Amino acid sequence: MKKDTPLFWTRTECPVCSSSNIKIIRQRNISYKEFNHDQIKITDKDYGKIWDLSRCSDCTHVFANPCPTADYIRRLYAQIKDPSYEEEAGGREKNFLPILWNINKIHPGKGNIFDVGAATGIFLNSARKYRWRPDGIEASSWAVGTAQKKYNLKIREGAFESIPLKEKYYQSVTMIDFIEHIPYPYQAVLKAHEILTRAGVLCLVTPNLHSLAAKISGGRWWHFRPAHIHYFTKTSLRRLLERAGFKVIKTRNYTWTFSAHYLISRLAFLDFLLKSNFLSSFFRKIPIKLALGDSIEIYAQKK
Ligand SMILES: [Zn+2]
């Protein structure tokens, strides 16, 4: 690997399958100079922003290349504050319940659950209600503090890759919208393998580059954003998991629920509807279920 600047580095191999059969496919429209922690917030609205992208001809994986370094990413995430994420807590909780239900179907019986990229703890709070013992890690200090204040949850602060954890201890590990943000996805999945029990279940959710929504929206796809440095397909995600010693048990298309307010606020031409306080709070109360199916939800167990 060659260093371009101290903050970005160039890969010569695919981060999923290690093939050197990689080609540049798109040029970036994000400026290195202007890149900052506000652009990687979960609720960032600046869609259609990409890094220089390379594609692996062997496993179909697409990834930022050059890519921000692990240390740079860690520093940026540590600074994130995103209060509007919590405004949608109700909808987000609804999104997470089918995940708990599916994990339980594959491996009946509760136990220890570890959520990687736990954000403000909405998922772990739901898991605890369903009698899981919650544990997890999050890079943003603000999010860790919010989880403690709002849900009385102790979430570890830092990076999953470098924190010492008990091996073969967790009945489930979840990575919901996490893997596309980190420089070394293979190492993260390998670590999940280490800490899971023999019959433990890994659940992973990530945007699907080959989804219909991605194809229809083209360059304006809302998962094209500075925070995303990987774009998986079902093929590359399966390859990643199998390489780390997992077998795929089940794959679904992820469905989102959020309020009408959230959707409208993300469609610039409808923004005028939120100018009045009455309409604004009215739209907050209307849940919308969007079966976009533009994320992959995948469940795996050890081979
Ligand atoms: Zn590859």
Domains and CATH numbers, the chain: 2-302 (3.40.50.150)
Say if residues 102 and 249 touch (Cβ distance below 8 Å). Answer: no
Is residue 3 predicted with pLDDT exceeding 60? no
**pLDDT bracket for residue 1 (50, 70, 90):** very low
**Ligand 1 center to 14 CA (angstroms):** 5
**Ligand 1 center to 12 CA (angstroms):** 11
Neighbour count for residue 152 (Cβ, 10 Å): 10
144, containing H or E segment: helix 141-151
Query: Rg for the chain (alpha carbons), in Å?
Result: 19
pLDDT digits (tens, 9 = 90+) for 10-63: 999 999 999 999 999 999 998 887 787 777 776 666 778 899 999 999 999 999
Tell me the residue type at 240. Answer: L
Outline where DSSP puts E strands in the chain.
2-5, 8-10, 22-26, 53-56, 62-64, 67-68, 112-116, 133-138, 156-157, 170-176, 196-207, 230-231, 246-253, 256-259, 287-290, 295-302
Give the least confident one: 33-47, 98-112, 146-160, 175-189: 33-47
Three-class SS state of 232: strand
- Amino acid 141: pLDDT: 95
**Ligand 1 center to 54 CA (angstroms):** 10
- Amino acid 89: pLDDT: 79
Alpha carbons 197 and 139: distance in angstroms, whole number: 25
SS3 of 53-66: EEEECCCCCEEECC
34, containing H or E segment: none
Say if residues 158 and 185 touch (Cβ distance below 8 Å). Answer: no
**Ligand 1 center to 198 CA (angstroms):** 27
**Ligand 1 center to 17 CA (angstroms):** 4
**pLDDT bracket for residue 281 (50, 70, 90):** confident
**Ligand 1 center to 262 CA (angstroms):** 35
In terms of C-beta distances under 8 Å and separation of at least 24 residues, what long-range contacts does 277-283 make, across chains too?
A: 283/259
